[in-house]
Amino acid sequence: MKGKIKVILVDDHAVVRAGFRMLLSTAADIDVIAEAERGEAACQLYLEQQPDVMVLDLSMPGIGGLESIRRICNRDSNARILVFSVHDEMVYVDRAMNAGAKGYITKNSAPGILVEAIQKIAAGEIYIEQGLMKNTPMQNNEADYKTIVDSLSAREFDVFLLLAKGLTAHKIADELCLGYKTVANYGTQIRNKLNVSSVAELAHIAMVLGVRKN
């Protein structure tokens, strides 16, 4: 990416935003261009400022974080949103990723994680804080993932990457010029082969293997 990564911070606590801004000011390649304290303002700011990454809390007054993610991603399917939340339960991670977020970290994470996550997401990658996946049913190691993913057909692999990015079956159907039912069937086959059930788990596997679709 050329130039600095333009970031918008969204959190209803001014002191938290100030802390984020101070932390990010230490990164030479990141520029905080705006802040918002509610989801409604975040949606408007996104359209006006077109940030490279939006860092957003889930628990806010008004429409809240999840609905903000949905609205922004419905208007811009390429939106890159990083959730930065106190919630570390997988149900929140999965709901955020299903809504269209490209990353999820907790406010208890090490300071450097925020910078790293923003940089990765700005580069088009998925980023989920590693510790968040510890309570998932996935027990396969990286070698197992690689073996299974390598066995996917070319079309299954395409669908896998797009699902891992958070695209819906309808959007994948449009992008790959396939029928919705065909994509849905591919999705079911892929989840069964990898023994997972959520977008967050697929995104985690893609991140672990270092594979993504630009």
Q: What average pLDDT does the segment 149-175 reach?
A: 87
- Separation of first and last alpha carbons in the chain: 13
**What total number of domains does the chain contain?**
2
Q: Where are the alpha helices (DSSP H) in the chain?
A: 14-24, 39-49, 64-75, 90-99, 111-122, 142-151, 154-164, 169-176, 180-194, 199-209
pTM for the model stands at: 0.71
Q: List the one residue out of 109, 99, 108 whose CA is nearest residue 72.
A: 99
Question: Which pair of structure tokens corresponds to residue 209?
Answer: 């293997």
Last residue of a domain, one of 71, 100, 134: 134
Rounded to the nearest integer, the mean pLDDT of the chain is: 86
Same domain, 50 and 92: yes
Query: In this predicted model, what pLDDT tens digit does every residue of 169-188 receive, in sequence order?
Result: 888 999 888 899 999 999 99
Dihedral sign (CA 85, 114, 124, 202):
negative
Last residue of a domain, one of 134, 160, 188: 134
Query: What residues make up the domain containing 179?
Result: 136-209
2 pLDDT more than 60? yes
Q: What average pLDDT does the segment 77-102 reach?
A: 87
